[in-house]
Amino acid sequence: MSNPIIVIGSGFAAYQWVKSFRKLDQHTAITLVTADQGADYSKPELSHVFSRHQQATDLIKQTAAEFAAEYNIKLITETIINEINTAQQWVYFNQQQLQYSSLIIATGATSFIPKFAGNTTDKIITLNSLSELQQNQLQINAAKHITILGAGLIGTEIAIDLATAGKQITLCDKAAAMMPALLPDFIAAELHQVLSQKDIDLQLNATISEISTDGEQMIISQQGKEDIHTDIIIAAMGLAPRLQLAQQAGICTNRGILSIICYKPQPLTSTLLAIVLRSTVKLVRLFNLSCYQR
């Protein structure tokens, strides 16, 4: 029996690869290893659960077991890959080596949180995955005032959704305008108006000097501006690609994985190391501003 294709990761890129490959080949063995629960869900919906009064489990389209059964793969959840050996073609986890014929690295990215001065950086939360939503949803539901750091697409969507759900929201960004690298001035101005209609306190040119605590509240100190007293801080300041495995394996990296070989519409061979890195591809969704004005 030949060695399986091993896929590391269970995000959008990994699962789309599995779905696409199975349309071409229904029989080649695939083993997928993921650090989380392996549920198939729509990640963009993470930004809309609060106004819809949804639970994290409502976003799940298929459990890991259901996905594995439908696409005929072996799916190993809650497991960390410790090492990759590309010369001998094996991965190491749970005190065992597993040989592969081809390898897909689709480990994605993690939310970026700067190292702010103060004693509260470790209390800043992120909403970059289903597991992070599950860990933090009760705390967010109980909060009255929430501050979001980062007024990009994700931060703005989360701010609007939480404001729609009745939360007091402060949205901070170091830029002087809304998404200056993405939006023309007239659209940025229209979006600014939408935020005002939602009573969202937008603070641009925000330079944070320290984040500390005062009892149960968190205090964000800014240069030249008043402090912000808030119950929760959510970071939406961009993503940092997970490169540790690739770097350990000797694969070239920069801001992402550089050794990218695109798979062709036929089964992968044992000589091919296929790399998929979702974090190097940014999918921009253009949203209809009018939908937020209802």
Where residue 245 falls among pLDDT bands split at 50, 70, 90? confident
For the chain, how big is the Rg over CA atoms in Å? 21
Q: Any bridge partners for residue 145, and if so which?
A: 168
Report the share of the chain in percent with pLDDT over 90.
Answer: 63
Indicate the pLDDT class of residue 126, thresholds 50, 70 and 90: very high
Question: What does the pLDDT look like over 56-70, one tens digit per residue?
Answer: 999 999 999 999 999
Report the C-alpha gap between 20 and 22 in whole angstroms.
Answer: 5
Taking alpha carbons only, the member of 149, 250, 251, 277 closest to residue 202 is 149
Q: Return the higher-pLDDT residue of 271 and 49.
A: 49
**pLDDT, tens only, 181-190:** 888 989 988 9
- All residues at 6 or more sequence positions from 92 whose CB lies less than 8 Å from its CB, including other chains: 81, 82, 83, 84, 85, 98
Burial of 147 (0-12, 13-18, 19+ CB in 10 A): buried
Cα separation, 80 vs 101, whole angstroms: 20
CB-neighbour burial class of residue 66 (10 A; exposed 0-12, middle 13-18, buried 19+): middle
Kindly indicate the confidence band of residue 25, based on its pLDDT and cuts at 50, 70 and 90. very high
Angle 39-19-110 from CA coordinates, rounded to 5°: 50
CB 268 within 8 A of CB 5: yes
Hey, which residues does 222 pair with through a beta bridge? 208, 225
pLDDT of residue 286: 33
Does the model's pTM come out above 0.85?
no
pLDDT at 272: 38
At residue 231, the pLDDT reads: 96
pLDDT, position 265: 41
Q: Which stretch, 216-220, 269-273, 281-285, has highest mean pLDDT?
A: 216-220
| Confidence band for 268, pLDDT divided at 50, 70 and 90 | very low
Match 């970026």 to its residue by tokens.
Answer: 112
- Token couple for 204: 């641009």
Q: Are 182 and 153 in contact (CB under 8 A)?
A: yes
Q: What's the one-letter identity of residue 258?
A: L
Mean pLDDT of the chain: 85
Structural contact between residues 127 and 46, judged by C-beta atoms closer than 8 angstroms: yes
pLDDT of residue 254: 73
Residue 258's pLDDT is 60
CA triple 281-74-248, angle to 5 deg: 50
The pLDDT, as a whole number, for residue 246 is 83
CA neighbours within 13 Å on the CB side: how many for 230? Answer: 28
CA 135/CA 76 separation, integer angstroms:
21
Angle formed at CA 76 by CA 72 and CA 77, multiple of 5 degrees: 125
Statement: residue 293 has pLDDT above 60: no
The three-class DSSP label of residue 221 is: strand
Is the pLDDT at 206 greater than 90? The verdict is yes
C-alpha to C-alpha distance for 279 and 257, rounded to whole angstroms: 9
